[in-house]
A and B are shown apart, each in its own frame.
Chain A
């Protein structure tokens, strides 16, 4: 969460209410998401099934365990960012202690990355058009389904891309790159139009 001493890297750059040629039929909505907690969970080799069993039992997560899946709970979601590696994200509560109690050191280790990423929501009719200008990933739903995550790079910046809905993506970038990434995003959205909130 951002406040007087916890400052967004996009403060003064992404200003809510800004519009450029916005047209709901073809434009995108840009929004910075303030994250309360990001925890990277790295599973020991051979313990993947144990970790998933914990997720399934304790978090009542449904769905199969497959690469790139995203599971949601009431307070946070868990992204399988690469084999054996997960990123748990909450916009509302701290989850480090909760997960620490849940996952034993024999199964996985955790790293607090809550301040390491800037998270941008990009949604709307033009989102595929805009993202395809940077992402070398097929964004068709059959290839990149809803509730899945992919690691990629955009304009030489590493991006964790979570597809929350058909036209709704959450993009995680290194905090230090936030301004450059936002500049790329607005440049790429310029011809379809965008608005910020």
Chain B
């Protein structure tokens, strides 16, 4: 093949690009495919399985062959279609699926072995009798097959998402879509017109067909200019609508800067993922030409006839010097007429039909065509380029391009995605959209209206006059009987007609089975040019009409979507939002190593020079026991429970009693789910007669609020109670240790901090300088401790002022690690124990079990919930002075460390500076009756095991004397 650019188009802006290391010149507006064709490049890639030479087959997103790797610095973008990739100065692309080069590919030997590489070859040959066989071969098979090379460096491009709402969404900006857009725009509706191509206009781009007294190209440009004058119309070129979802919602990708040079694109969004929502939808997605099957129909130079026409019309590029056309319908004569109008010669037309329509006859006469009637191409001859074709009469025609038209397949992917069952239409030999399930209409070629006048009319421009247009006049011949050469149905996955026959022989009759057995219609082209022909072959094999063979449904995406586009902007620092407490900057300024706790970011430890995390938390926990420490507890969930029925509501929500809690006091509470398992725990403070402040665990804040709202809205709507999240209103810290009272007494005013005036579980208002605070005498650490809360904007100042006040007592800020250490030493439960599977008794909280009714009580009494053998909370002490790994399984003897039956698991672990031992909390089967026993904490994944003694979970100060001083 030796393509060339028409001299009339040489005035365009030149563009320099590289392909397989060689520099070429194209012009602005070219795709990589058109530019390569203009440069006479025939060979673009190698096929998936047999590594056969492949060229350019189409001129759009249906391309099965010409997928390339685009190189951007260290980044690679595989499977980019040369037929849609717009060139720019500096573009670098290379062939994929070949080694060492596309010209000499070692794996081309596969083609010689093709008799054994039939459908199902890998499964039959490499599965073996166990997974090990497949796992051994899989990596080699994958390496050999490949579909491009993925980048190993992070994608540096910018992506984003956008929501687009409109009254009418029109997908496809060909003549039907543009007509519809003009019609809808005139009504004042908000119209979005999206098209996957850089240029809107579809088949009319570059067309000389006469419309309303001017050529098609001029007419469509004029209509697009009209559309741009409407404020209510949004045009989205380079936008592929890839998915149709419920409620007229569509996914689309706008290629914003893929066509720009590196410097032009710098800082710009690369691709934008659009979510389109429309009241009405008009699908004008057109149709794709399909090939006719014959021997060696994959040779570079065999192309769709419409692609030949597009390269000439749109890009001024003629794909070859000697062009033969092969058809079973009249549409090819329109392309021939377009070529003829530009003086591009056609060597011959091979027509499967006996006679010509008036339109075809006129074209024949005008361009003096040599037509072979009732003839077929049986084989293409060539290697890396087409040399000739052999006809069924034995004649050989030399040529470098064969344009093939086997008819047109309406593009009904979107209709099919939302549930329409395609319906086969014998007049066009293809499938049409079935009954619609959503509010949309199909117009134009995608509903089988191939006439231009019909497209315009269905779009609402019935008055526009169209001259000289052919009808389809298709002869239903899809597959030419041949004796030589491979007949490829699916070019991208190297699926041959013989593979379909084999699938049928082996019992894979359903089209769904056929697809999966042969991989037909898979990969990034999704069989756009293959599916109908495959069904024809199968129907012939099964001797059934196509309507009875059935068809597969399409799933999103219509065309490949990059992972970057799907992520939108959600990567890096935008991967997920984080919640910072008001004291965040203070923590960072004082050496805190932070850790995520859900969305919150909390200090884990405050490292001093040379300290490890372990060193730091041991120091911090010890400081609390010895003097005083402070920890940020802002992330605790906080919910105001307000209203005259609030006490009754709490009484029903918590397991323990709440009716008599006085104002100014707090109480610990446990709440269950309806199924009787422990849901959450925390303290709730009675601030006023009818106003309570409930705290929840950090992790369950939102879940508890939802639970409470559900109870009030659905179960007890008669209760006069409101619940409001105030988590963000309050900043909080806990100050703990023997000197905590002294620090607060020094810093606070308007409050008496004495034990008598401020007893355990009391809640009082106070002032810290000008900052109003609430102080509650609570202890999670087991020490004399208080929580101090203030309105959030004061949080930093509150923390800093208390820190300064504590300097005389060597106050130590501590993080979540030390917080965990202190509560584990006390046997207090937290997230790891509140795992949704534990009961009140499992966690040794039976003292909180009230006699009154409460949520979860009925189901908490089920047999399985009160079984003695349930996992019970216990403490563990390492007998080997080693850290106990969280998640370790408990087994009874050392011999069982890898295969034993688990008796439970370790939930929380720490080194206890107070005890000088490694300790843990665990849930152990019937654990409370095993106190004093030695068991083994085993962690098979690390091949670790150690002896531990089961003890009561209250390791430190079990009578609580330290917090009641």
- The interface of chain A, by Cβ under 8 A from chain B, is 2, 4-9, 12, 40, 42, 44-45, 105, 109, 111-117, 129, 132-140, 143, 155-157, 174-181, 183-184, 187-188, 190-191
Could you say which residues of chain B place their CB within 8 Å of the CB of A157? 577
A135 and B163 within 8 A (CB): yes
| Main SS class of interface, A | loop
Q: How large is the interface on B (under 10, 10 to 19, 20 to 34, 35 or more residues)?
A: 35 or more
B238 → chain A closest CB, angstroms: 16
Q: Is B161 an interface residue (CB 8 A)?
A: yes
A183 and B573 within 8 A (CB): yes
Which of A45, A132, A155 makes the CB contact (< 8 A) with B569? A155
A188 and B792 within 8 A (CB): no
B783-803 contacts to A (CB < 8 Å): 791-797
B592-644 contacts to A (CB < 8 Å): 599-600, 634, 640, 642-643
Evaluate whether A42 and B267 lie within 8 angstroms (CB atoms) in the complex, with A156-B577, A177-B577, A180-B578 already known.
no
Query: What CA separation (Å) do A169 and B580 show in the bound complex?
Result: 24
Query: What CA separation (Å) do A2 and B165 show in the bound complex?
Result: 38
Query: What CA separation (Å) do A132 and B274 show in the bound complex?
Result: 10
Which of B585, B720, B794, B796 makes the CB contact (< 8 A) with A44? B720
A156 and B165 within 8 A (CB): no
Residue of B whose beta carbon sits closest to that of A110: B642
Residue of B whose beta carbon sits closest to that of A155: B577
Could you say which residues of chain A place their CB within 8 Å of the CB of B570? 155
Could you say which residues of chain A place their CB within 8 Å of the CB of B720? 44
Q: Is B133 an interface residue (CB 8 A)?
A: no
Q: Is B722 an interface residue (CB 8 A)?
A: yes
A187 → chain B closest CB, angstroms: 6
A115 and B729 within 8 A (CB): yes
B845 → chain A closest CB, angstroms: 30
Q: Is B770 an interface residue (CB 8 A)?
A: yes
Q: Is B275 an interface residue (CB 8 A)?
A: yes
Could you say which residues of chain B place their CB within 8 Å of the CB of A137? 163
B132-182 contacts to A (CB < 8 Å): 158, 160-165
A110 → chain B closest CB, angstroms: 8
- The interface of chain B, by Cβ under 8 A from chain A, is 158, 160-165, 190, 267-269, 275, 277, 569-570, 573-574, 576-582, 585, 599-600, 634, 640, 642-643, 690, 717, 720, 722, 724, 726-730, 769-771, 791-797
Query: What CA separation (Å) do A129 and B274 show in the bound complex?
Result: 12
Could you say which residues of chain A place their CB within 8 Å of the CB of B163? 132-133, 135-137
List 21 A-B residue pairs with CB atoms under 8 Å apart, sorted by A's residue number. A2-B793, A4-B797, A7-B795, A7-B796, A111-B726, A112-B729, A116-B727, A116-B729, A133-B569, A137-B163, A140-B190, A155-B577, A174-B728, A175-B792, A176-B581, A176-B599, A178-B580, A181-B577, A183-B573, A187-B574, A188-B160
Most buried by B among A12, A45, A135, A155: A155
B642 and A109 within 8 A (CB): yes
B161 and A179 within 8 A (CB): no
A42 and B724 within 8 A (CB): yes
Query: What CA separation (Å) do A184 and B792 show in the bound complex?
Result: 22
A89 → chain B closest CB, angstroms: 14
Query: What CA separation (Å) do A132 and B268 show in the bound complex?
Result: 18
Could you say which residues of chain B place their CB within 8 Å of the CB of A183? 573-574
Which of B580, B640, B643 makes the CB contact (< 8 A) with A179? B580
Residue of B whose beta carbon sits closest to that of A142: B190
A187 and B164 within 8 A (CB): no
Evaluate whether A115 and B792 lie within 8 angstroms (CB atoms) in the complex, with A174-B728, A176-B600 already known.
yes
Could you say which residues of chain A place their CB within 8 Å of the CB of B277? 138
Which of A5, A114, A133 makes the CB contact (< 8 A) with B160? A133
Evaluate whether A42 and B580 lie within 8 angstroms (CB atoms) in the complex, with A133-B160, A174-B728 already known.
no
A115 and B577 within 8 A (CB): no
Evaluate whether A109 and B643 lie within 8 angstroms (CB atoms) in the complex, with A114-B729, A140-B190 already known.
yes
Could you say which residues of chain A place their CB within 8 Å of the CB of B580? 9, 176, 178-179
B302 → chain A closest CB, angstroms: 43
A42 and B573 within 8 A (CB): no
Could you say which residues of chain B place their CB within 8 Å of the CB of A177? 577-579, 599
Could you say which residues of chain A place their CB within 8 Å of the CB of B268? 191
B287 → chain A closest CB, angstroms: 33
Which of B569, B576, B690, B769 makes the CB contact (< 8 A) with A188? B569
Could you say which residues of chain B place their CB within 8 Å of the CB of A109? 642-643, 722
Residue of A whose beta carbon sits closest to that of B769: A5
B595 → chain A closest CB, angstroms: 16
B574 and A155 within 8 A (CB): yes
Could you say which residues of chain B place their CB within 8 Å of the CB of A44? 720
A176 and B728 within 8 A (CB): yes
Query: What CA separation (Å) do A42 and B640 show in the bound complex?
Result: 12
A138 and B165 within 8 A (CB): yes
Query: What CA separation (Å) do A179 and B795 show in the bound complex?
Result: 16
Could you say which residues of chain B place their CB within 8 Å of the CB of A188? 160, 569
Evaluate whether A113 and B726 lie within 8 angstroms (CB atoms) in the complex, with A7-B797, A179-B580 already known.
yes
Other than the known A6-B797, A116-B727, what 5 A-B pairs have Cβ atoms closer than 8 Å? A112-B729, A129-B162, A137-B163, A175-B582, A184-B569
B505 → chain A closest CB, angstroms: 51
B488 → chain A closest CB, angstroms: 44
A116 and B569 within 8 A (CB): no
B272 → chain A closest CB, angstroms: 8
Shortest beta-carbon contacts, A-B, top 5: A176-B579, A180-B577, A138-B165, A5-B797, A115-B791
Could you say which residues of chain A place their CB within 8 Å of the CB of B165? 138-140, 143
Residue of B whose beta carbon sits closest to that of A11: B585
Which of A6, A175, A187, A190 makes the CB contact (< 8 A) with B728? A175
B303 → chain A closest CB, angstroms: 38
Which of B158, B190, B577, B770 makes the CB contact (< 8 A) with A184? B577
B574 and A184 within 8 A (CB): yes
Which of B582, B727, B791 makes the CB contact (< 8 A) with A9? B582
Most buried by A among B599, B724, B770: B724
B161 and A111 within 8 A (CB): no
Query: What CA separation (Å) do A118 and B397 show in the bound complex?
Result: 76
Query: What CA separation (Å) do A139 and B165 show in the bound complex?
Result: 8
B600 → chain A closest CB, angstroms: 7
Could you say which residues of chain A place their CB within 8 Å of the CB of B796? 7
Could you say which residues of chain B place their CB within 8 Å of the CB of A8? 793
Which of A2, A45, A111, A134 makes the CB contact (< 8 A) with B640? A111
A115 and B579 within 8 A (CB): no
B275 and A111 within 8 A (CB): no
Could you say which residues of chain B place their CB within 8 Å of the CB of A134? 161
Residue of B whose beta carbon sits closest to that of A144: B165
Most buried by B among A5, A133, A134, A188: A5
Evaluate whether A5 and B729 lie within 8 angstroms (CB atoms) in the complex, with A184-B569, A184-B574 already known.
no
A150 → chain B closest CB, angstroms: 13
Query: What CA separation (Å) do A177 and B792 show in the bound complex?
Result: 13
Query: What CA separation (Å) do A184 and B582 show in the bound complex?
Result: 20
Query: What CA separation (Å) do A5 and B731 show in the bound complex?
Result: 13
Could you say which residues of chain B place their CB within 8 Å of the CB of A184? 569, 574, 577
Could you say which residues of chain A place their CB within 8 Å of the CB of B771? 5
Query: What CA separation (Å) do A111 and B725 show in the bound complex?
Result: 9
A133 and B162 within 8 A (CB): yes
Residue of B whose beta carbon sits closest to that of A43: B722
A6 and B573 within 8 A (CB): no
Could you say which residues of chain B place their CB within 8 Å of the CB of A40? 724
Query: What CA separation (Å) do A42 and B713 show in the bound complex?
Result: 14
Could you say which residues of chain A place their CB within 8 Å of the CB of B581? 176
Could you say which residues of chain A place their CB within 8 Å of the CB of B729? 112-116
B794 and A5 within 8 A (CB): yes
B172 → chain A closest CB, angstroms: 23
Which of A111, A156, A174, A178 makes the CB contact (< 8 A) with B576? A156
Query: What CA separation (Å) do A191 and B794 show in the bound complex?
Result: 36
Query: What CA separation (Å) do A133 and B724 show in the bound complex?
Result: 29
Could you say which residues of chain B place their CB within 8 Å of the CB of A9? 580, 582
Evaluate whether A6 and B160 lie within 8 angstroms (CB atoms) in the complex, with A136-B275, A157-B577, A180-B578 already known.
no
B562 → chain A closest CB, angstroms: 18
Most buried by B among A45, A111, A115: A115
